[in-house]
Structure 1
Amino acid sequence: MLKQIRTVAAVALLTVTTYAVAVETGASHPDTYVVRKGDTLWDIAARFLKKPWLWPEIWQANPQVKNPHLIYPGDVLSLAYLDRVTPQGTVQPGKRDEAPINAIPLAQVEPFLKNLTVMDSFKELPYVVGLEDNRMRASAGQQAYVRGLQGAQPGQRYAVLRPTVRYGQPKPSDDLDERGNVTPFTGDLWKSYVASSDRHELLGYELAQVATGTVTHVGSGERETSTLLLQASGREVRAGDRLVPVQANPYDLQFVPHAPTAAVADGHLRVLAVADTLTSGGPRDVIAISGGTRDGIDNGTVFSVWRSRRHVTDRVTGMATSRTDDALKPGAGRVSLPAEYAAHAMVFRTFDRVSYALVMEGTKPARVGYELKHPDAQ
């Protein structure tokens, strides 16, 4: 499963221009490698080179790979440097008796691609005011009654979204209630993960898709409700959920992994949240980060995720204490520890000031407040 997920950042390679880079190789590597079931170029580069995102080096050394979306078990790849001549006859196609290694296992990330969006505001959107038989919750096959749908047409399809989180700086997130208001005290946890700063900015509101539906009746007056017949649903619909028209193709179908196109300043980008968990996530988990298209981030951008510098009391020369926790800011009697690498993550959906990324691999969990850096950061 993990190897399939890594395919998102590996064999999705593809519209790459001339790529010239000095490659640091591992201690040793064979001249050729036979592709096995489950391999990706990301994995192969990670095994034989020190930096898995240097997969274009392997691709360019193998001109017989016309379409990296279609490498097969049994294909023989040259691992020679670009300026070396590949021995004649050592690179060849496999037998083609197995299915090709697909570019992207889209089903693994599709729920996140579909179900999470970020908006600057949402309270002006139409919203569910009641449900069939005065239910507290409703699902597929039942009716929801909506206020604010004037102008819609019977047969038009809508997505039902639930406001879940407000993202900002320096506080990463606050939970939202059914009215879309901040739930008191839910954001207090952030103080344990992100140091306070002078940067105060609303980054956006997250809305999670819970269902889709088709309009069957449109109300005529401001106080009249319209009827939405609920269809596909991931969660039950409730009063207060918002509506937006269904998008035909709301996300990319392919990703081209690459390093950030713009420089990443230390401390500028951080992990805001981990989807469906409280504070930490590992491979295959989705994280929200505090940067988007305005920062030059696009789909396929790869970051390394780092535990931020921490500051601890020197119990040898400083004040004696039994406390083992660390501080987010330096202070008297404290010494600074270096940042620590945690994981790599690839962006798969971007908005203006927030993006979502899939954790690809790592040595420790990615947590709220961790910094994002260039994938080659040391």
Structure 2
Amino acid sequence: MSKHHAIKIFSTFVMLSVVSSLSGAATEIKGDSPSEYVVKKGDTLWDIAGVFLQSPWKWPSLWEKNSQIKNPHLIYPDDVIYLLYRNGEPYFSTSKGGSGKLSPKVRAVGKFSPITAIPRVAMQAFVGDHRIVDASRIGKMPYVLAGVGLRDLIGSGDEIYIRGALDPEFNQYQIYRIGKVYGIKDGLSTENSEIIKIGTVDLLEKEGDISRAIVTESNGLIKKGDIIVRGHALQLQPLYYLAAAPQGVTGKIISAVNQAHKITRYDGVVLNLGVDTGVFPGHVFSVLKAPRQVKDPRTGEMVLISNQVIGELMIVNVFENLSYGIILNAKGIVSPGDSIVPVQ
């Protein structure tokens, strides 16, 4: 029997039923919150938490771990989530696969995967295919010199020449194209380049600083000058643990991953927060619209509108000086230049 269809037998099925330690948790429950919810395939943790809570990122705080279910983020389709109260304080319990009984329980591991914080397809493009590197490194990286036979149009199955130092003991490399450069104008002390994965090559032979390789995968035409990076593309984390960002950490959206000026739900954004700020994947921020002036339609005078919370975003990948985030919720138009602050 394959591990994907292995059967995990629980000797006793135990419901999660531990009171939250969150002070004032009752105020976090929505007035129209249901008493139970059946998890469906395609649900996300953010959406389910939003069914019950005014602040979805506080989802883990209304659970406590026990030996039966070790992680409140490990929720599966067909699970039933219950909103219960003890001494006036809310807490969540769950029964697996729709069973509300305290009885032996069998689950086919691999039938379903745990639901994710947000749709995986929304993250894949700019988590798996985008990186940010110190711009000073670009000129030192190996690059595509030409196609074999001096072809200008290079795609999957074609052979290419690479110039630069490659490790002959390492066979597979990624091809990246240089994208947008972020620097002083974005509040950074050094220039950082976004690089976008467009293909994969296998090394065939090497002589001096010239190597021959075959393109095994491509997302588009490969060009002369595209850079070569050792290793595999960045992978999505299996789970993102929702949590409020550290207090005192603030930043701004400096660009949309797709270069759009109007950013909506599940769009990717580039943030001016790096590893030294202490942010991690899963941290949630509020998005603030910058103060702006609007014209009063009656008096004609200009009126200053202060900061407004227009949405939330979650960190999905952190680099030395920048990070990628994804918009979880947008109540208005999110734009480059909008500020981000820890959710409350």
**TM-score tier (shorter):** 0.7 to 0.9
* Residue of structure 2 in register with 1:374 after alignment: 342
* 1:166-187 CA distance string (max 9 Å, x none): 1124x34xxxxxxxxxxxxxxx
| CA distance in 2 between partners of 1:85 and 1:314 (Å) | 45
1:27 aligns with 2:12: no
1:252 Cα shift?
A: 3.1
Contact 1:157–1:213 under 8 Å retained in 2? yes
Aligned residue runs from structure 1 range 144-155, under 5 A: 144-149=160-165, 151-153=166-168
* Residue of structure 1 in register with 2:193 after alignment: 205
Say which SS state the counterpart of residue 47 (structure 1) adopts. helix
1:204 Cα shift?
A: 1.2
Amino acid of the structure 2 residue aligned with 1:216: L
* 1:234-270 CA distance string (max 9 Å, x none): 12210111111013765533211111124134xxx11
1:311 aligns with 2:323: no
CA gap of 1:19–1:110, structure 2 versus 1, over 3 A, is farther
Amino acid of the structure 2 residue aligned with 1:366: V
| CA distance in 1 between partners of 2:167 and 2:342 (Å) | 46
Amino acid of the structure 2 residue aligned with 1:129: L
* Residue of structure 2 in register with 1:3 after alignment: none
* Residue of structure 1 in register with 2:140 after alignment: 124
Say which SS state the counterpart of residue 60 (structure 2) adopts. helix
Say which SS state the counterpart of residue 260 (structure 2) adopts. coil
CA gap of 1:81–1:49, structure 2 versus 1, over 3 A, is farther
Say which SS state the counterpart of residue 215 (structure 1) adopts. strand
1:207 Cα shift?
A: 0.7
1:219 Cα shift?
A: 2.3
* Residue of structure 2 in register with 1:196 after alignment: none
1:167 aligns with 2:182: yes
Fraction of identical pairs, as percent: 22
CA gap of 1:44–1:217, structure 2 versus 1, over 3 A, is closer
* Residue of structure 2 in register with 1:109 after alignment: 123
1:355 aligns with 2:323: yes
1:54 aligns with 2:58: yes
Contact 1:60–1:82 under 8 Å retained in 2? no
1:338 Cα shift?
A: 1.4
Amino acid of the structure 2 residue aligned with 1:73: D
* 1:78-135 CA distance string (max 9 Å, x none): 342676598xxx9644148995462335444223222111111211111112113322
CA gap of 1:21–1:205, structure 2 versus 1, over 3 A, is farther
What is the TM-score of this pair, normalised by structure 2? 0.77
Contact 1:61–1:82 under 8 Å retained in 2? no
| CA distance in 2 between partners of 1:44 and 1:141 (Å) | 44
Contact 1:271–1:369 under 8 Å retained in 2? yes
Amino acid of the structure 2 residue aligned with 1:111: A
* Residue of structure 2 in register with 1:14 after alignment: none
| CA distance in 2 between partners of 1:315 and 1:271 (Å) | 31
Aligned residue runs from structure 1 range 294-333, under 5 A: 294-312=276-294
| CA distance in 2 between partners of 1:108 and 1:298 (Å) | 18
Say which SS state the counterpart of residue 343 (structure 1) adopts. strand
CA RMSD of aligned residues (A): 3.1
1:316 Cα shift?
A: 6.6
CA gap of 1:293–1:281, structure 2 versus 1, over 3 A, is same
1:304 Cα shift?
A: 1.6
1:264 aligns with 2:249: yes
* Residue of structure 2 in register with 1:5 after alignment: none
What is the TM-score of this pair, normalised by structure 1? 0.71
Gaps of 5+ in 2: 1-19, 100-105
* Residue of structure 1 in register with 2:262 after alignment: 280
| CA distance in 2 between partners of 1:349 and 1:234 (Å) | 22
Say which SS state the counterpart of residue 135 (structure 1) adopts. coil
| CA distance in 2 between partners of 1:361 and 1:247 (Å) | 31
1:37 aligns with 2:40: yes
* Residue of structure 2 in register with 1:235 after alignment: 220
Count, aligned residues: 307
| CA distance in 1 between partners of 2:200 and 2:71 (Å) | 37
Aligned residue runs from structure 1 range 55-70, under 5 A: 55-60=59-64, 66-68=70-72, 69-70=74-75
CA gap of 1:77–1:316, structure 2 versus 1, over 3 A, is closer
CA gap of 1:111–1:129, structure 2 versus 1, over 3 A, is same
Contact 2:156–2:215 under 8 Å retained in 1? yes
1:252 aligns with 2:237: yes
* 1:17-62 CA distance string (max 9 Å, x none): x8524222323545x3132414445334323321111212443499
| CA distance in 1 between partners of 2:80 and 2:188 (Å) | 53
